[in-house]
Amino acid sequence: MSNNGKRVAWVTGGGSGIGEAAAAALAADGWIVVVSGRRKDALEHVVANITKNGGKAEAIALDVSDKDSVNKAADQIVAKHARIDLLVNSAGINVPKRSWADMELSGWDKLVEINLNGVLYCMHAVLPTMRKQKDGCIINVASWAGRHVSKMPGPAYTTTKHAVQALTHSFNMDECVNGLRACCFSPGEVATPILKLRPVVPSEAEQAKMLQPEDCGRTIAFVASMPPRVCMNEILISPTHNRGFIQTPHNRD
């Protein structure tokens, strides 16, 4: 995955949470990291922290649900670096009104546009470059909810994360012949800002027992470090203190 030692990673949702942690872990491993997200100030903060620690990073503000902007961002990265070795699709959201009792179709549409369409748009945008390189890795951040159906995340989130899993496996079926590989990374509860959108926000004590963003960042960097002959099709991780195993109310995002 190198060109004279140069490795370029594009991380969406890179302004906070899992995406921010992935960017930091990859930069620490020597990757040139391009972070994308909707909040320019958050991206600049991430870039500043990485460069302060000796890493290489830059930012491209982006809404992944806008396919034209996604394509422009991919073109911008290739124009500057001549390659994209890794795509980490970490952009994702949920909404407070998420049960069948109170869900709104606008909320459903928003989740599909970002959690599913955005993932596809980014994968599609890097595909020509990766095919040309005959090498490339994609890591799609799904969720425990994409493997195990439960009540808390809601129908829209659960459905989009299941779809990301299917999308990842279908990619490997077609693109393995081109030297490309994708991993569906499905973490259980992670203490990230998305928790604030839950109908019942977990306490600080509860969040301390969850997976932390850096746990996910290290895992993503590990997948990215594997040689091109290795495809890690799927990773499912959870907190040791898995509230889904212990109780049913107020579970996962």
In a domain, 166, yes or no: yes
- pLDDT computed for residue 1 by the predictor: 42
pLDDT in tens, 8-59: 999 999 999 999 999 999 999 999 999 999 999 999 999 999 999 999 999 9
- Separation CA 123–CA 5 (nearest Å): 23
157 carries an active-site annotation: yes
3-state helix, strand, coil in the chain (%, to 5): 50, 15, 35
Q: What is the CA 5 to chain-centroid distance, rounded?
A: 24
Residues of the chain with pLDDT under 70: 1-4, 247-253
Residue pair 243/251 in contact (Cβ under 8 Å)? The answer is yes
Q: Does residue 111 sit within a domain? A: yes
pLDDT score of 3? 64
Look-up of token digits 């290489």: 56
Q: Domain count for the chain, please give it.
A: 1
CATH of the domain at 40: 3.40.50.720
CA 70 distance to own-chain centroid: 15
User: Cβ(248)–Cβ(154) under 8 Å?
Assistant: no
**In whole angstroms, what is the distance from residue 90 CA to residue 220 CA?**
10
Fill in the amino acid letter for 29.
D
Range of 47's domain?
8-246
User: Rounded CA gap, 15 and 153, in Å?
Assistant: 22
CB-based contact 95:153 (threshold 8 Å) = no
How high is the pLDDT of residue 101?
95
Q: Determine the pLDDT at residue 247.
A: 64
Query: For residues 169 and 165, what is the distance between their CA atoms, to the nearest angstrom?
Result: 6
Q: Which pLDDT value is given to residue 199? A: 81
Cβ atoms of residues 207 and 195 within 8 Å: yes
Query: What pLDDT is attached to residue 2?
Result: 46
Question: Could you give the CA distance from residue 153 to residue 198 in angstroms, rounded to a whole number?
Answer: 8
Catalytic one of 157, 182, 183, 185: 157
What was the pLDDT predicted at 197? Answer: 79
